[in-house]
Amino acid sequence: MTCKKARELMVLDHYGEAGAEDKARFDEHLGKCPACAAERSETRRLFALIDAHAAEDAPTPDWEKVWRGVRTGIAGERPTRQPALAPWRRWPFAGPALALVLVAGILIGRFGLAPAPRPAVSAAAAPSNGGAPNGIRPAFAAYLEDLKPILLDYAHYVPGEKAEGRVVVDESALRTLMLQNVLLKRKLAEKDPAAADLLDDLDLILKEIVNRGPNDTNSPAEIRDLIEKRDVLFKMEILKKT
Amino acid sequence: MEELTNIRQAREGDPEAFRALFDGHRQQVFALAYRYLRNRTDAEDVLQETFIKAYNGLPGYDPAKGLNFAAWLNRICVNASIDAMRRSKVRETGPLGPEEAAAMSAPSHSSDPERSARSAEIREKIDQALARLTPTQRMVFTLRHYQEYTTREIAQALQSSEGSVKKHLFRAVGLLRKHLRKYVVEDGYDL
């Protein structure tokens, strides 16, 4: 067993989640590795410290005030579900998506990463672009366009549908999209928190797509639910236009 | 059975049925949000947001899929709490509210004032160390350590993979150990 694996197991072991076989190998490793034994001791003391200083219990909220807020939030509404698009409207976008990934990469490289030119006019006289750094908006909009077909495909996933009808994007393209996400977030984080939040959501979704195994039949539905619950497509439409 | 009836009626737009669901689950949802956000007002906001989202999401909730209503609400609460934490990053590092400050300085079981002060200091350092984690690391640690979810249950709540949850948990514990090492060593906590 490697020390890295032992470090992971010392956490799982604390929570009683290490399997019997792993635990036996872990104990054997500790007997031979003083560094890991010391680290286990420190980890156990950390948990003891945290437990000894557990925060106070939650205070009692004003339940009626919260309920009034809920009532206002749902007043006049009746729960509704957006109808899914018919299967024939799902776009076979893999090819165009990959081409757009390339274009977005070029845009980010050209506008997003190049040092900003010194302004010729004072900040007060400069026109506002909604708070986003100059030049990064087109790259951000192009990035959202690239992702849209992939997300639409998942958003309209129906359990049991055949795999051959789905958009296929290879892992390297997905990883390129994740890299672009990081670069865009770096540029937008301070001046446009809403865009940065959306990029966080998109990053999470991309990771889920990349990490899903070939035989993982639950993932598409989970990714669909993630897109739906976080209103990702709606936010993309709004932020693309601002 | 009664809960299923309330869910069905709430789905039809019956506010009283939804109120019954709110009353039955508000404590559990609030406790989770408060444990994560450490701020009563923020936790109340998340509680409210969770139930509004739940109401709108009722048509998509299917108990037959195996996820019980409480777990489904927790999943919404987890996402709302992470979003709330992202929104309030600035406030989070600011001064504590009166209620949190009072809780922080509340006397511990010890009657020794010096020891109480030390305990309050360590509790504050633990909160600060938790605040330095990423929102996901913090949520994973909160759910595993305080709420006693298994990593599998956390993966369901966060709609993520178990492997990813474990990675977040390892990183969270590693960072807490780093940030709190001084207190672990000085106070000699051991089992």
**Quick check: B24 pLDDT over 80?**
yes
State whether residue B169 sits within 8 Å of chain A by CB: yes
Number of H helices, E strands in chain A: 10, 0
Of the pLDDT bands very low, low, confident and very high (cuts 50, 70, 90), residue A225 is confident
Of the pLDDT bands very low, low, confident and very high (cuts 50, 70, 90), residue B17 is very high
Q: In this predicted structure, what is the pLDDT of residue B49?
A: 93
Instruction: Take residue A102 and report the two structure tokens written for it.
Output: 């390339």
B43 to A44: CB separation less than 8 angstroms, yes or no: no
Measured from the Cβ of residue B61, the count of other Cβ atoms closer than 10 Å reads 16
- Higher-confidence residue of A95 and A235: namely A235
Comparing CB atoms, the residue among B15, B76, B180 nearest residue A71 is B15
Chosen from B12, B44, B147 to mutate, greatest number of chain A CBs within 10 A: B44
* Per-residue pLDDT tens digits for A77-95: 666 554 444 444 445 555 6
* Domain membership of residue B27 as a residue range: 1-94
B127: nearest CA partner in chain A: A55
* Per-residue pLDDT tens digits for B79-102: 888 888 877 654 444 444 444 444
Beta strands in A16-169 (DSSP E): none
| B60 lies in some domain | yes
**Of B154, B37, B125, B121, the residue nearest B86 (C-alpha):** B37
Instruction: Determine which of A98-102, A186-190, A212-216, B31-35 has the lowest per-residue pLDDT on average.
Output: A212-216
Measured from the Cβ of residue B82, the count of other Cβ atoms closer than 10 Å reads 21
Contacts 24+ apart (CB under 8 A), B148-156: B150/A15, B150/A17, B151/A12, B151/A15, B151/A17, B153/B71, B156/B67, B156/B71, B156/B75
Instruction: Take residue A212 and report the two structure tokens written for it.
Output: 């899903």
- Higher-confidence residue of B79 and A214: namely B79
Q: In this predicted structure, what is the pLDDT of residue B47?
A: 95
Closest-CA distance, A35 to chain B, in angstroms, reads 15
Of the pLDDT bands very low, low, confident and very high (cuts 50, 70, 90), residue A66 is very high
Closest-CA distance, B39 to chain A, in angstroms, reads 9
**Quick check: B10 pLDDT over 50?**
yes
- Higher-confidence residue of B97 and A38: namely A38
Average pLDDT over chain A, rounded to an integer: 75
**Of A216, A172, A240, A11, the residue nearest B168 (C-alpha):** A11
Instruction: Take residue B63 and report the two structure tokens written for it.
Output: 């108990």
Contacts 24+ apart (CB under 8 A), A86-91: A87/A156, A87/A158, A87/A161, A87/A165, A90/A152, A90/A153, A90/A156, A90/A165, A90/A167, A91/A149, A91/A152, A91/A153, A91/A167
Do A132 and A163 touch, CB atoms closer than 8 A? Answer: no
Q: In this predicted structure, what is the pLDDT of residue A63?
A: 92
**Quick check: B50 pLDDT over 90?**
yes
Of the pLDDT bands very low, low, confident and very high (cuts 50, 70, 90), residue A173 is confident
What would the DSSP string read from start to end of B140-186?
HHIIIIIS---HHHHHHHHTS-HHHHHHHHHHHHHHHHHHHHHHHHH
**Quick check: A149 pLDDT over 90?**
no
Instruction: Determine which of A115-124, A172-181, B78-87, B153-162 has the lowest per-residue pLDDT on average.
Output: A115-124
Domain chopping of chain A, boundaries: 3-52, 87-117+129-241
**Residue A90 vs residues A93, A151, A156, B182, B185: alpha-carbon distances, Å:** 9, 11, 8, 57, 59
State whether residue B6 sits within 8 Å of chain A by CB: no
* Per-residue pLDDT tens digits for B96-125: 444 444 444 444 444 566 667 777 888 888
User: What b/e string do you get for A229-238 counting C-beta neighbours within 10 Å, with b at 16 or more?
Assistant: bbebbebbee
> Running DSSP on this structure, what letter comes out for residue A190?
T
Beta strands in chain A (DSSP E): none
User: How far is residue A110's CA from residue A105's CA, in Å, rounded to a whole number?
Assistant: 9
| B65 lies in some domain | yes
Comparing CB atoms, the residue among A53, A197, A208 nearest residue B123 is A53
| B27 lies in some domain | yes
**Quick check: B69 pLDDT over 60?**
yes
Q: In this predicted structure, what is the pLDDT of residue B113?
A: 65
**Quick check: A165 pLDDT over 60?**
no
| B30 lies in some domain | yes
Of the pLDDT bands very low, low, confident and very high (cuts 50, 70, 90), residue A234 is confident
- Give whichever of A133-137, A161-165, B77-81, B186-190 has the largest mean pLDDT: B77-81
| B108 lies in some domain | no
- Higher-confidence residue of A178 and B144: namely B144
**Of A156, A151, A110, the residue nearest A134 (C-alpha):** A110
* Per-residue pLDDT tens digits for A100-145: 677 777 776 666 555 544 444 433 333 344 444 557 788 888 888 8
Q: How far is CA A181 from the centre of its chain?
A: 10
B182: nearest CA partner in chain A: A46
User: How far is residue B57's CA from residue A66's CA, in Å, rounded to a whole number?
Assistant: 19
User: What b/e string do you get for A124-160 counting C-beta neighbours within 10 Å, with b at 16 or more?
Assistant: eeeeeeeebbebbbebbbbbbbbbbbbbbbbbbbeee
* Amino acid, single-letter form, for residue B114: E
- Higher-confidence residue of B5 and B105: namely B5
Q: In this predicted structure, what is the pLDDT of residue B170?
A: 94
Q: Which residues 44-83 on chain B approach chain A with CB closer than 8 angstroms?
A: 44, 47-48, 51-53, 55-60, 76, 79, 83
Comparing CB atoms, the residue among B40, B48, B119 nearest residue A53 is B119
Q: What's the average model confidence in pLDDT over B116-136?
A: 85
Comparing CB atoms, the residue among B38, B126, B160 nearest residue A208 is B160
How many domains is chain B built from?
1
User: What b/e string do you get for B90-119 counting C-beta neighbours within 10 Å, with b at 16 or more?
Assistant: eebeeeeeeebeebbeeeeeeeeeeebebb
> Running DSSP on this structure, what letter comes out for residue A215?
T
Q: What's the average model confidence in pLDDT over A159-180?
A: 70
A41 to B119: CB separation less than 8 angstroms, yes or no: no
Instruction: Determine which of A18-32, A96-110, B158-172 has the lowest per-residue pLDDT on average.
Output: A96-110
Chosen from A40, A74, A199, A223 to mutate, greatest number of chain B CBs within 10 A: A74
Closest-CA distance, A121 to chain B, in angstroms, reads 31
Instruction: Determine which of A27-31, A204-208, B2-6 has the lowest per-residue pLDDT on average.
Output: A204-208
Give A-chain residues touching B137 at CB under 8 angstroms. none
User: How far is residue A14's CA from residue A29's CA, in Å, rounded to a whole number?
Assistant: 16
| B29 lies in some domain | yes
B164 to A207: CB separation less than 8 angstroms, yes or no: yes
